[in-house]
Structure 1
Amino acid sequence: MSRYLDWPDYLVIVALLVLYLFVGVFYGFRSHFTKLWHCICHSSTKEKSPEENLTPADDIFLGNRKITLLPIVASTMASFMSAVAIMGNNSEAYCYGIEFVMLILGYCIAFPVAAEVYTPVFYKLGVLSAHEVVYIAVVLYAPSLALSRVTGWPVYSSILISGILGTFYTALGGIRAVVWTDLIQTIVMLGGFVLILVFGCQQVGGIERIWEIASRDQRLNVLEAIHLQLPMNAVFLSVQMLTGLVTYAVFVGCDPKLNGEITDYDQIFPHLVMRLFSDIPVLRGLFLSTVFAAALSTLSSGVNGIACVLVEDVFMDIYLTVSKGSRLRRSRLTFIARFIAILFGLVIIGLAFLLQVVPAGVLRISFSIFGAIGGPILTVFTLGIIFPFINKWGALFGFLGSLVAGLTMIVGTLYFYTFQEHVLAPLTNATCSIVNSSVSTSAPSLVTAVTPAPPPEYGFSFFNLSYLYLTPFCLLVGLVIAVPISLLTALELTAF
């Protein structure tokens, strides 16, 4: 098996990256292309488009609210299908089984609530919001692990490539570039997973053999949750878990980390690709593009959202106050929006560099950030939308208390976390010498094994709370603080 990519793989990767750049450049300079086309066709129409009545920010960040349904659905799904999900979920299923599919239960609650409670409020108000800076840095860091495994390049090279590319086409093309590149990336990701499942099943002896190995080694926990699948994200999560089972079946008895082939289980997805498609170089490049596509989709959506929040909620307020209501030229606002997008892209690249020193896996890092930072933000939105009696003081202290609680939990788990995760079934490289003997005459590897120990007894520690529960924990803390403070301050105001 070739350890690194060949030139056809790089050709495929470069071709897809150039395609993403082209979409950004096209939508960034679409007006110039349109004028050129009218000149060529001798078109002299000067009718005012209804879109001209909208603000420049609507065009840059929302596509004039006229982007069709299919690309919007694909873009939303691609944004959630980050490199963290592709690599983290695969390693999770490989090491611990498919209990993670229980997230579909959360989808069944969260998606309807978001669609029926939160989204209508934001849509009717016409407001824009995004709070993803730190999480996007994790998403940017994840594909760097894959690239370092299949190319031998240092981690920072991938961070720079992904960060600069995603920031560039987002800053130029705005939301239209984000949506249409996300549509392309969704097709690439879905096609990649399907081919991995087909080739993986063929290599290990069919889906029955995969199920047999997974059942024998306790990887088939909580299958009942599959019956609760929601479209899109539920299907993708199930495919990722099944890919994890394929990964386990392919490497059963020859764990690549114990054998020294990878340094972290988050690298097992690209290692699987190199193993399955060792004789088909072009497909290896296609699947590495899958990881890049997942990272770029989330990066582009996040950068666009952050830039739009700063332009609409910060810059425009300051400008209108200073200029006493005078309108800002469209070209200048476009330049400012692109500058802010580039600036935050650079900030995200810097944060991704810092993540190299964090020992936890990308899945745990991302969920911890979602819980500790997203939880307080969810608290504020929930208080404002569902609890009308909450006043500004209750919301303020509820948010601060929730944020302090979330950050305390993250820091506490680094120093006071006593619970140790253990694999469900033995991971060993005992059969690696047999596998290697068919392709190499090198000496057998040192046999290492990780065997499951009985669940140990742990003393109570508040910081043993699972990272998956950080969001509801922060929400609960915020509610407990906000409600009494709002009631007390309301009583004081009525007393005076």
Structure 2
Amino acid sequence: MVGTGGPVASFSVWDYVVFAGTILASAGIGLFQAIRGRKETSSAEFLLGGRQMTAVPVAMSLTASFMSGITVIGTPAEAYRFGAAFWLFAFSYAIMSAITAEVFVPLFYRLNITSAYEYLELRFSRPIRLIGTSMYIIQTALYTGLVIYAPALALNQITGLDLWGVLVATGAVCIIYCTLGGLKAVIWTDVLQMMIMLAGFVAVIARGAVLQGGLTNIWKDAGQGGRLEVFDFDPDPLKRHTFWSIVIGGSVMWASIYSINQSQVQRYISCKTLGHAKMSLYVNMVGLWVTVSLAVFSGLTMFSIYKNCDPLTNNDVRTPDQLLPYLVMDILAVYPGVPGLFVAAAYSGTLSTVSSSINALVAVTVEDYLHPVCKNLTERQVTWMNMGLSVLFGALCIGMAGVASLMESILQAALSIFGMISGPLLGLYLLGMLFRTSNSIGGLVGMIIGLVLTLWVGIGGQIYPPTAEKTNPLPLSTAGCNSTMGQSHTTTAPWTSPTTLTTPPHGRPPLADSWYSLSYLYLALLGTLTTIASGLLVSMITGGCKQEKLNSDLFVRISDMSCFSWCDKSEASDITEKAATDFHFEADNPTYKYTDMMSKDVEKSTKL
């Protein structure tokens, strides 16, 4: 009987057919793009889709890239245990989209960059660019490991397939279509995978509504269980989720992901016009709203079904991330092929994120490390290098899944990684884009201070998780559990999971209940503000106020921050050419030369 606990069904033949069809479709799109673009083998075509993409597919790709298998599995479990406060991220998505579209996109588009970290060299210095790129590579490898591990664990528990066999298969599929099709293959597979993800949520909600007598009853159960108490205005920064931590901290965290993360930047600068690039972010915002709404409501549906028999407390599952896969097999196994659709949804989120990460890692490696050293490579050599790096980074991401198996909560761990590393990087970008006083010394010192601080808090929080008083889990019941009641389908043993990090038995250090208990959503804000403040101070001490005139293209303009400033490439080119009458950049020597238009023989050079 559904909702009474106990073992659940295993995969049927039709589930395997649906799941395999999804994977083959993803690989097929990569093969199709490879055949279609076989005559266009340039690096720009492979990494940026020839800069000819349009808003809607890019928007769906932006959404799918970070609405991964972690979202499919983790967000419903979050709503089930802690309530619908995660819905407040809709505000964060709106703020993030506006900041990215109106501040960062015009600047990156104007500079015509391939790697987001090119900006750090133009504004500060090459060593800072390489440090920023290295931070991104480490962050992306760790995050992608989590992304691969989450649905692989779900598939392992549902089907009984070997966990590491699933991990390797995930990486292999991504490597195939990333290597063959480049960014175009990644974007168009993201479109397919986004649709499958949403279909998986709809299937869970629809079946739950049938079992519970309608959506109204699900909503009523959620309200009675305290799951709809969303607006908590407590200013305590140690509480895991409040209105302030989600809206303020979450906005900064998501801005650090969308504004400067190569996986996202690479998508919107692949658009054929600035208008398409901005529009892609606003369409993406709507996509994020739809995705988080369906994910949260799936969690409320799960609570309505298990309100009297919590599978976690009843030891039917061992970790929160197994709750939704358990629900799927409990309520959907009577429809052959539908559980396969759900696993395909989780798997599709993984494929979209991993492929995006691999493509972005190749881009920054080629642009930031290899091009400056190997300047005489032919296009064919560069193409083979791109393909080889795709295989290399695919293998690296598979290896990092082993690290992910040690994390307690996959959703929180993933977002914490971004806060710890992207927060200081965002601070560095804002330091350069908004403050002419900042110099390379201030930028470097500020970023290091911000990074050390966020790593200290973030790693401490993983080793010594906050107590229940700070995480605020809502009550769950096992009063209605009856594991001995007959199921109408074949059963398997209760699920298990790998060992997770636990607090050492000898006790918690003094900082564990204060500093280490800071909400993970404030990590990015902490890193950003620390980097800006310390960077400005060091810059002023080291002569930042005495810098020669800098290229205006490197700073945010008032004219950029308008929803109607959607000029196309030719207009952007005109703007750049106009700026170039005063400032000239020498590619081999990062020096900007200011030329007095009244006296051509007077030149001032400023070493960046």
Of 431, 437, 451 in structure 2, the residue corresponding to residue 403 of structure 1 is: 451
Match of 2:352 in 1: 297
Task: Name the structure 2 match of 1:238.
Answer: 293
Runs of 4+ in structure 1 off by over 4 angstroms are 223-226, 415-418, 421-424, 437-440, 491-494
Match of 2:399 among 329, 350, 353: 350
Question: Which structure would you say has the larger RCO, counting Cα contacts within 8 Å and 6 or more residues apart?
Answer: 2
1:332 corresponds to which of 381, 385, 399:
381
TM-score by length of 2: 0.70
1:312 to 364, 367, 374: 367
Question: Following the alignment from structure 2 to structure 1, what is the Cα–Cα distance between the partners of residues 403 and 454?
Answer: 20
- For the pair 1:482 / 2:490, whether they are aligned, the reply is no
Pair 1:284-2:352 in alignment: no
CA RMSD of aligned residues (A): 2.7
Aligned partners of 1:150, 1:492: CA distance in 2, in Å? Answer: 61
Match of 1:392 among 422, 436, 440: 440
Cα shift at 1:81: 1.1
SS in structure 1 of the partner of residue 337 of structure 2: helix
Of 210, 218, 234, 2:226 maps to 218
User: Distance in 2 between the 1:462 and 1:216 partners?
Assistant: 34
- Following superposition, the deviation at residue 428 of structure 1 comes to 2.6
Report the counterpart of residue 455 of structure 1 in structure 2. none
Q: In structure 1, how many angstroms separate the alpha carbons of the residues matched to 2:179 and 2:451? A: 30
* 1:152 counterpart = 2:200: no
Alignment partner of 2:63 out of 77, 85, 95:
77
Question: Which of 167, 170, 191 matches 1:162?
Answer: 170
The answer to whether the 8 Å contact 2:148/2:398 transfers is: yes
Q: 1:88 to 1:9 in 2, by over 3 A?
A: same
Letter in 2 for 1:385: M
Deviations 1:422-463 (A, max 9, x none): 5554323221218825759x9xx9xxxxxxxxxxxx996211
Alignment check: 8 A CA contact 1:88 1:266 kept: yes
Candidates 512, 522, 538, aligned match of 1:469: 522
Partner of 1:136: 144
Check 1:459–1:179 CA distance in 2 against 1; reply closer, same or farther (3 A cut).
closer
Query: Shift of the alpha carbon at 1:260?
Result: 2.8
**1-structure distance, mates of 2:461, 2:56:** 42
> Which position in structure 1 is the counterpart of 2:423?
375
Q: Residues of 1 paired with 2:335 and 2:358: CA distance? A: 35
Structure-to-structure mapping, 1:226-265, within 5 angstroms: 231-265=286-320
Q: Partner amino acid for 2:326? A: H
Task: Provide the secondary structure at the position in 1 that maps to 2:482.
Answer: helix
The structure-2 alpha-carbon separation of the partners of 1:492 and 1:278, relative to structure 1 and needing over 3 Å to count, comes to: closer
Percent identical: 31
Partner Cα separation in structure 2 for residue 473 and residue 70 of structure 1 = 34
C-alpha displacement at 1:83, in angstroms?
0.9
> 2: CA distance between counterparts of 1:70 and 1:62?
16
Describe the SS at the equivalent of 1:297: helix
Alignment partners' CA distance in 1, 2:86 and 2:484: 30
**Alignment partners' CA distance in 2, 1:436 and 1:390:** 68
Compared CA separation, residues 391 and 288, structure 1 to 2 (3 A): same
Asked if structure 2 preserves the Cα contact closer than 8 Å seen for 1:60 and 1:175, the reply is yes
| Corresponding residue for residue 174 of structure 1 | 182
Q: CA deviation at 1:107?
A: 1.6
Quick one: which amino acid aligns to residue 102 of structure 1? L
- Give the direction of change, closer, same or farther, for the CA distance of 1:460–1:278 in structure 2 (3 Å limit): closer
SS of the equivalent of 2:374 reads helix
Stretch moving more, 422-431 or 283-292: 422-431
Distance 1:220 1:482, change over 3 A: same
- What is the DSSP-based 3-state SS (H/G/I as helix, E as strand, rest coil) of the residue aligned with 1:481? helix
Residues 356 and 417 (structure 1), Cα distance of their counterparts in 2 relative to 1, 3 Å cut: closer
CA displacement 1:335-390 (0-9 Å, x = unmatched): 100111111111111111121123x2111111110100111211121111122221
Q: For residues 77 and 253 of structure 1, what CA distance do their matches in structure 2 show? A: 35
Task: Name the SS of the counterpart of 1:396 in structure 2.
Answer: helix
Question: Match for residue 571 of structure 2?
Answer: none
* Cα distance between partner residues in 1 of 2:471 and 2:288: 28
Whichever residue aligns with residue 429 of structure 1, its letter is T
CA displacement at 1:249 relative to structure 2: 0.7
> What SS does structure 2 have at the residue aligned with 1:473?
helix
Match status 1:56 vs 2:42: yes
Compute the TM-score of the two structures, normalised by the length of structure 1. 0.85
Match in the other structure for 1:361: 409
- What is the one-letter code of the residue matched to 1:10? Y
* Residue 375 to residue 459, structure 1, CA distance change in 2 (3 Å): closer
Question: Given the alignment of the two structures, is residue 27 of structure 1 paired with residue 27 of structure 2, yes or no?
Answer: no
Corresponding residue to 2:98 among 88, 112, 116: 112
Residues 222 and 304, structure 2, Cα contact 8 Å, conserved in 1: yes
Kept in 2, the 8 Å contact 1:204–1:250? The answer is yes
Within the candidate set 190, 197, 210, 1:189 is matched to: 197
Instruction: Could you tell me which runs of 5 or more consecutive residues in structure 2 were left unpaired when the two chains were aligned.
Output: 1-6, 117-135, 233-242, 252-281, 495-510, 548-608
1:28 offset after TM fit, Å?
2.3
**Structure 2 residue identity aligned to 1:375:** G
The 3-state SS of whatever aligns with 1:474 is helix
Conserved in 2, the CA contact under 8 Å of 1:129 and 1:306? no
Q: How many residues align?
A: 453
Contact 1:89 1:240 in 2 (8 A): yes
Q: Identify the range of structure 1 (424-433 vs 370-379) with the bigger mean alpha-carbon deviation.
A: 424-433
For the Cα contact (< 8 Å) 2:84–2:296, is it kept in 1? yes
Go from structure 1 to structure 2 and tell me whether the alpha carbon gap of 1:212 and 1:398 turns closer, same or farther (over 3 Å shift).
same
| Alignment match, 1:323 | none
Query: What is the rounded CA distance, in whole Å, between the counterparts of 1:196 and 1:71 in structure 2?
Result: 26
Moved more, 430-439 or 199-208: 430-439
Distance change >3 Å, CA 406–CA 459, structure 1 → 2: closer
Give the aligned partner of residue 20 of structure 2.
14
Measure the CA separation in 2 of the matches of 1:470 and 1:124.
30
Determine the C-alpha separation between the residues in 1 that align with 2:18 and 2:167.
19
Which secondary structure does the structure 2 equivalent of 1:427 belong to?
Answer: coil
Is 1:412 paired with 2:465? no
Instruction: Name the structure where helix makes up a greater proportion of residues.
Output: 1
CA-CA distance at 1:411 after TM superposition? 2.2
Report deviation, 1:135: 1.4
